[in-house]
Amino acid sequence: MNSMRSGREFDFIIIGSGIAGLYDALLAQESGNVLILTKGSIEETNTKHAQGGIAAAISSLDSPELHFRDTISAGAGLCDPEAVRILTEEAADRISDLVRFGVPFDTVDGEIALTREAAHSVPRILHAGGDATGERIEVTLSNLARLSRKITILEYCLATELILEDGQVTGVSAIDLRSKSVEEFRSRCVILATGGMGRLFKITTNPDIATGDGIALAYRAGAEIVDMEFMQFHPTALRLPGVPLFLISEAVRGEGGMLRNEAGERFMLKYASEGDLAPRDIVARSLVREMKRTGTDRVYLDVTHLPARLISARFPQIYRYCLDHGLDITSSWIPVVPAAHYMMGGVRTNYWGETNIRGLFASGEVASTGVHGANRLASNSLLEVLVFGKRIVEKAIGGSDTVPSAASEVAVLESRDKIEGRNTACSVTALESLLWENVGIVRSAQKLEETAETLALWERGLRPASDRPSFEIANMVLVGRLMAEAALTREESRGAHYRSDFPQSSDNWIKHIVFRKSRDKDGSGAQVI
């Protein structure tokens, strides 16, 4: 890499250009100058892949209390009730923000259209362009950000280190991926908005950018990382030979889509009383069991009984994508499989998006605010971005000095520095396969132990990173290790975390697993709170 160059100072530095980064930037610009760093183009985000929409209690038939109860129920005992209360009660105001920014939500007879998704008791999902909600939000916000004179956007600029002084964040070190120069940007307010980590798995709905960068950055800086065992697997991703995996929104089942096996039988009632509208973790595991029982590698989602006009209008992206690959979903079943989708855990924050490092905030999927618990309620993720993003900016403007307290109960995370004899070469492909097979939908102690040892060995063998691929593989190995160790520690099944050797939930595990980098050379600290 070329020599270090010092960049100028900003009031806010935001790492990431999805809805979290853009929304926070548009709010923050009212109080200062903002820098957005993104390792790809501003259009390369997970946001545009969000088909379902945003959950909010805006109907006369709904209420924040009902939304609260649905969220708590889906979270399998690990939601933070106060965080969920904040989420549901501030939802309507944050939807108004998007309307003010110009997001074109779909309407019926002049009212915002609402649909229902699994585990929601009433229709409360707002959508835009049918199943193009994420894309419409992303385009609207990115256009506004580009026009702002107070927002600087640096594309193809990968953040590689958080700069700290006396426990306070003071800036970010980054590499310009085109010139290869290393730059420093200064600010006493840094917001991580880097999205998820779905690319750690071979079968995923996530784009290539989702490599867990923000979690790795935060962990190396000493931030607390929590709930890493809770990776959500979406039940329905398109499975066609030679065709890239493509998300089939849960809203398709909300509109009446039915899951069938190879023989055409509806099978979900065998596994859950809610049938096709059971929570995602139950549906995903049910699909795995049904495929194993029938000896097939897919099941089918059937919408052929619904009006063709409804399908093409309500799900234009899905309809067109399938049609472009030779499948007319109005007359043929959709072959689907479960896929890695969304991380419920991440950088631990309080109710204002603050981490345990002064001046460092986390927003969106990279953050763990406490609202999702062990199993995210569908379409709460985009809402979480808005509610807590607003709070982050308010807190940052007012001065960040509150730090989440550390857990008191401490266990030592295995350093695994004596592992020898594993010859598997480290690569993205090998890591994706390892995580999918051993830390996927069904887990066991043996497979998790094997994975933790392999990742620890790979981590020690990595060369110093110097470009995007080498930084990404280093981040993926670290984040994968945090996930495997957390899943190994939690000896029960809860929400999206399922252990075949501990298939039941236990009251002893209504608590969280928190990792924080140790100050000594013997490894990291794992705290159970």
Asked whether residue 115 carries a pLDDT value surpassing 90, the answer given is no
**Mean of the pLDDT values across residues 115-140?**
87
User: pLDDT tens across 471-500, in order?
Assistant: 999 999 999 999 999 999 999 999 999 999
The stretch 258-267 carries a mean pLDDT of 97
Interval 246-257 mean pLDDT:
90
pLDDT of residue 478: 96
Output the CA angle 211-453-224, nearest 5 degrees.
Answer: 50
pLDDT of residue 522: 45
Per-residue pLDDT of 358-407, as tens digits, reads 999 999 999 999 999 999 998 999 999 999 999 999 999 987 666 655 54
Confidence of residue 409 (pLDDT cuts 50, 70, 90): very low
The answer to whether residue 411 scores a pLDDT higher than 60 is no
Find, among 528, 526, 527, the residue nearest to 414 by Cα.
Answer: 526
| pLDDT (0 to 100) of residue 52 | 65
Above 80 in pLDDT, residue 468?
yes
| CATH 3.90.700.10 for the 234-340 domain, yes or no | yes
More confident residue, 42 or 328: 328
Q: Answer for the pair 272, 322: CB distance below 8 angstroms, yes or no.
A: no
* pLDDT of amino acid 415: 76
Q: What pLDDT does 439 receive?
A: 98
Q: What is the mean pLDDT of residues 77-105?
A: 96
Q: Would the pTM count as exceeding 0.85?
A: yes
Which CATH number does the domain 406-528 belong to among 1.10.150.20, 3.40.50.970, 3.30.300.30, 1.20.58.100? 1.20.58.100
The token duo for 326 is 């030779």
Alpha-carbon Rg for the chain in angstroms = 22
H helices then E strands: how many in the chain? Answer: 14, 25
- The CA-CA-CA angle for residues 74, 78, 82, to 5°, reads 95
Confidence of residue 412 (pLDDT cuts 50, 70, 90): very low
Q: Which of 94, 199, 280, 490 is catalytic?
A: 280
Look at residue 462 in the predicted model and tell me its pLDDT.
93
Active site residue 280: yes
DSSP-derived pairing of the beta strands 34-37 and 151-154 = parallel
Half-sphere exposure (Cβ direction) of 238: Cα atoms closer than 13 Å = 27
Annotated domain spans of the chain:
234-340, 406-528
Half-sphere exposure of 117 (CA within 13 A, CB side): 30
The band of 262, judged by pLDDT with boundaries at 50, 70 and 90, is very high
pLDDT beyond 70 at 192: yes
